[in-house]
A and B are shown apart, each in its own frame.
Chain A
Amino acid sequence: MAQYKLIHWNLNGKDVETMVDVRASLTDVLRNDYRMTSVKKGCEVGECGACNVIIDGECFNSCIYMAVWADGKHVRTLESLLGPNGELSDIQQAFVDEAAIQCGFCTPGFIMTAVEILESGKLYSDEELRKLLSGHLCRCTGYQNILQAVKKTMYRRLGKELPAE
C-alpha cells in the first residue's frame, strides 16, 4: 500500500512542502504535482537525460531520483530560467539562435546540463563539452548545433572571443 511522507524543499527558488508517495520519482512529482512540463520522460531509467534537473547545483536524472530524497534540497527545472517578463536566458536564446531545437523533447534536459556547465565558470574544450553533455540522447540534431549553442554561450559568459573554426 502507498505510504506518504511530507517533504520540505525548495523548487525554483520557492520553499514548498509536498506530501509525496514514497515510491514516486522526482519526475512524477514535478510533472504531476507541479505541472513542470519541461521535465520529460524518455526512458524512466536514467538513460536518455530528458528528465534532467539541477539538485543543489548538480544535475540528476529526476526519473531515478526518489521524490523523498528531495527533502531539504534545492531543485531547479528549466522553468526557473525564464525572466519575469518571459525573457529567455542566454543559454535558451542560444539554443533558439543556433537551431539547436527540433522536436524539442530533449531540449529542457540539455539546457539544464548546459546551465551546470556554464555555472562552473570554466572554459572547456570541444572534447570536454561533448563528454559533459553525453548524458543526453538526441535523435534530431546530431548534437552539432547543441554544441555550438553551449560553446558560444560559454565564451560569451567568460568574456572571451570565440576561436575561429
Chain B
Amino acid sequence: MAFVSRIRRQTDYNTYPSSIPIVIDNGASYFRIGWAGETEPRVVFRNIVQRPRHKATGETVTIVGDLDPAMMKYFDCTRSGPRTPFDSNVVYQFEIMEYILDFAFDRLGANGSGIDHPILITECACNPVQSRSKMAELLFETYGVPAVAFGVDAAFSYKYNQLHGICKKDGIVLCPGFTTTHAIPFVDGEPIYKGSCRTNIGGYHVTDYLKQLLSLKYPFHSSRFTWEKAEDLKLEHCYIAPDYASEIRLFQEGTKEAEEKTRYWQLPWIPPPTEVLPSEEELARKAAIREKQGQRLRDMAEAKRLSKINEMDNQLTSLHFLLKQVDQVEEDDIPTFLSDTGYASRQELESTITKVTQSLRKARGEPKNEPAESEENTDSLNNEKYPLMNVPDDILTPEQLKDKRRQMFLKTTAEGRLRARQKRNEEELEKEKRNQLEEERRRENPESYLEEMQAQYKEVLERVEQKKRLKTNGSSNGNNKSGGVGRGERLSAAQRERMRLLTTAAFDRGKGEDTFGTKDEDWQLYKLMSKDNDDDDEQPDSDEAELARLSSRLQDIDPTFVQKVEGESSQTSGEVPRVRLLTEEDYKIVIGIERFRCPEILFHPNLIGIDQVGLDEMAGTSIRRLPHDEKEIEERLTSSILMTGGCSLLPGMKERLECGIRMIRPCGSPIDVVRAMDPVLDAWRGASAFAANLNFLGNAFTKTDYYEKGKTKINLENCHFITGINYNGLSVKQLQELRGILRENTNTKLLVAKNTLVYKALEGTKWESLKPCMKGMNAWLFVQSEDIPAALKTFINFQKEKKLYDNNLGGAVFEEKLYAPQDYKVIETMPSRADVYGMMLGSLHWPALDLVNALQAPTATENETVVA
C-alpha cells in the first residue's frame, strides 16, 4: 500500500550535522518528513490534528495523524473532529500547522534548543504570498530554523523521475492530488508556471463522492460509510474505465462481464432471533395453567348464577305465597294489605311474578317462551298481536289510537326485520352457489383459474387505488411543478371542491344583483359547503368488498400470494419496504458502477458540479497556455507526460489518459504517458535529492534575510513606487492620521524605519538607487497602486492642510532611476490616473514584475540547480 503511516520516533537526530537540511513534503493528505539525501522519509502521517479532551484529567490534548481506535476510549472526541490546516491546497490554519510541525520534529527526534537545520518544504504551485510568509514566520520565529526554501511537489516529482530516466527534460507533469489537480509543463528541465493549470478536484472528491453515493444507496447503513472506510474502498476497488459510456452499458445490460466486475461487501449480519417453538411440556404446562384459571372463573360464575337462581326462587315462592294470601283477602282490603309489601295492586304483583319467572328461566338456561316460529305464521298471528290494526280510526278512543300507532310501528319493524333476514339468506345461497361454481371451475383447470383470479385481483386493486388517489390527490396527473407536496395535494378532491365554493362565495359578494336564495337549489350550496360532506365516501364501496373477497379467495388457493399492503404499490420494488424484516441480502453492499463512476469525476469534474476541464484536457490547456512558437515543442511535451500524485495509482489511468489526450491532439502526434516510479513518495524523494545539492543554500531564504528585510520585503511586494519623506516635527498623532489617509485613499504604506534597514531590504533590487536619500530622518512611502500621482497628491494636501512645510518629499525611485523632488513634480501634477496609464504603462510594469520574481525566487529557480 502506498499510504502507510510511519510514526516511530527516530533516535539519530543528533548524528546529523546542522548543514544537512530537513525535507518536508507537506501534502494535503499526508505529511512526510526526513533528511536530505535519503531515499525514504523518516516520518509519514496523515495531515490532520485532533484535539480531544482526555476523559480522566479533562485537559485538551493534541493528537496528530490517525488516532488509534484502541486509544479512543481514553478520549472524548465529541467536541472536535479531525482538523486540517488546509483550505483547498493552501495552508491557512497555522495553529494546526504548528501542532503538525511539533509532532513531526518531535518524531524526527529533535531534542535540542531549536531546529538547527535548513528546511525545504513543499507548497502548492503559485502559493499566495500570505500563506508562504506565514509559513516562513512560523518556521523562523517558533522553531528558529536557519533557512527555509519552498518548492512545488509536482515539480520535484518530475525532476526525480527525470533523474531516473522515466521522463525527458521537456514534458508535462499531471498531478491529481488530494484536493486539486495540477498540470505543469517543463521546458529544458524547468517548470514553466505560466503554462500550468489547476482544477479543483482530487482524491478527496472521489472518496467523498463514493461515500455520498453509497450512503444514499443504502440509507440503512449510512453510518457505516465513514470517510476512512470510503477511502479504503476507493483504494481497493476503484478503477478508471477506458470508456465510461461503453463500460456503463455493460452494467446497464446486465452482462456477465459486469457481474464479474461487481464487488460485494457483506456487512456483519445477525439474523433476528427465530421464534423457538416451546416444547411439548411447556405447552402442556401453559395449557394446564390456562385451563385451571378458566375453570376457576367458570366455577365462580356458576356459583354466582346458582346463588342468583336461589335468590330468585325464594323471591318467587314468597311472591306466590303473597298471591295466595291476596286471594284469601277480601277485594276491598287488598290495597291496605298490599301497602306493606310495596305493590299497588294484584296486577302488579302478577306482572312481577311473570318477570321473575322469566328471568329465572333465563338464568337456568331454558329456552325462551316465544321462539322464532312466531314470526313464520305471521298472518294468523297478526290479528291477535295487532288487534287494532284493522279497526277504523273513528271508532277508537284517543288511547286506543295511540295503541294502534304503536302496533303499526311494531308491525313495520317486524316486517322489515323479516325482509332483511330473507335477503341475507338469499345472498348466502347466491354466494354458496358462486363458490361452488368457482370451485368447479378451479377443479377443471386450476392454473387458468388462478391466473384469471390474479388478473381480476390486479384490476380491482388498480381501480381501488385509482379511486384512493383521486380522493387524496384530485387529478392524479403529476404535472404539479412545485414539487413535493403543495397545498393542492394535501387536500382531497371533496375538500378542494369545498374550498373552491367557499372562495367563490366570498368573492361573489357585492357583485351585481344578489339573487341568491330565489331558487331552492341555491340552498343546496350550504350542504355542499358543510364539513359533514367529507365523510360520505368513507364507507367501503363495492370495489373494496370485491377486493377483500378476491384476496381472501387467493389466499386460500395460492400459497405464494402476498396481499399488497396499502400504499405499497406506489413504492418501488427496488426499495426495501419498511415493514419487511432486514435479511442478509440487505446487508450486502454492492459496489459495481461506483467502482468507475467515482474516479470518472477526475476526467469530468462537471459530474460533481465543478465546471473545469478534466485531467486529459488539462494537458491541452497547459500546452495552449505555454508561450511558444514552434509546433515541435508541443510534440516534445506530449511525448513525455508524467503522472504522479495519489490518484494516478488508480488502475486504468494511463490508458485512459493516453486515449483522452490523443483526442485533443492532432492526428499522429506522439503521445507517451508514463506513471511516476512511486506517485506518492517521489515528490519527497525529488525534494530530498534537490536539498542534498550543495547549491541548495543559495536558493534558500535565510534567517538573516528574514530578520533584516523580512517585514520590509513583504511591503515591497506589489510595490510600484517608493519615495522617502524627510520628516521633521511630525507628531505621532499626525503620523497616524497620515497613515490612515494614505491607506484609505491610495493603498500606500507609510513606514518609518532605520535607513540602514531599509537599504538592506532594497539592496540588490531595482530600488537600490534610492541610496543617496538614506540620510537624516526619513519616512518611506510604498505606493502599491499604479496611481502614483494620487498618492503624492494625498500627501501634499495633507502637508498643506497641516502647514508642515518642513516635511518635504525626498528622493524617489521608479524605473530604476532616482528622481529628486523637483524632478518628479511632473508626476505629482499629472492630471489623472487614466493619463498616467497612457504615459507610463510600459515602463511601470516591469519593475514590479521583477520584484515579484525576486520574491518568488526560491520557487521559480529551485530546479535550475538540479540541472546545473
Do A and B interact with each other, yes or no?
Answer: no
